[in-house]
Amino acid sequence: MQNLWAPWRMDYILGDRPSGCIFCSKGNGESDEERLIVYRGQRSMVMMNRFPYNNGHLLVAPWKHTPTLDGLNDDELLNLIQTVRGSLAVLRETMSPDGFNVGLNLGTVAGAGVEAHVHFHIVPRWNGDTNFMTVFSEVRVVPEHLTQTYKKLLPYFAKERLNEIS
């Protein structure tokens, strides 16, 4: 029998939930690296999901704290979608996925983990990235450590670079 080690999951399972909103600009005094923020724009931000479904799982959120898209004005909404588009381009260039799942969960019943602050999920997908672990054990295998993925993506999310591709 082989063991699958994913010790970082225990932080999610047993750990304290952060107070305050993970998407708001201050972030409990943690650095961008600690928060896994790869991009800070004027109206929106991109952070890596600390508990990803797949390598490169990103969260894209407006800085404005609102639970719905209706809470954003036209400029904020346009910027949010442009940041999603730019994030997809960065992931295409750096990770070469075969496709993406892109979406948002509005409300707890829809699966929103942070219901009070609207955010998009971008999950890169590769042919064959699901296997027996997901089917039989409800476990996902994420083959690259979060800090390695962070270091890979960060240079591509420089503000000028993101604006070039969005």
Whole-prediction pTM: 0.79
Of the residues 57, 65, 117, 119, which is catalytic?
A: 119
Please state, in angstroms and rounded to a whole number, the distance separating the CA atoms of residues 112 and 106.
6
Could you give the strand order of the β-sheet that contains 99-103, starting from the edge strand earlier in sequence? 37-40, 44-48, 58-62, 120-125, 99-103
Question: Domain boundaries in the chain?
Answer: 24-144
Using the 8-state DSSP alphabet, how is residue 27 labeled? G
State the residue for tokens 């029998």. 1
Which CATH number is associated with domain 24-144? 3.30.428.10
Burial class of residue 115 in the structure, from the number of CB atoms within 10 Å of its CB (0-12 exposed, 13-18 middle, 19+ buried): middle
Q: Convert the pLDDT of each residue in 61-109 to its tens digit.
A: 999 999 999 999 999 999 999 999 999 999 999 999 999 999 998 888 8
Residue 31 Ramachandran class (φ > 0 left, ψ -120 to 50 alpha, else beta): beta
Is 65 an annotated catalytic residue? no
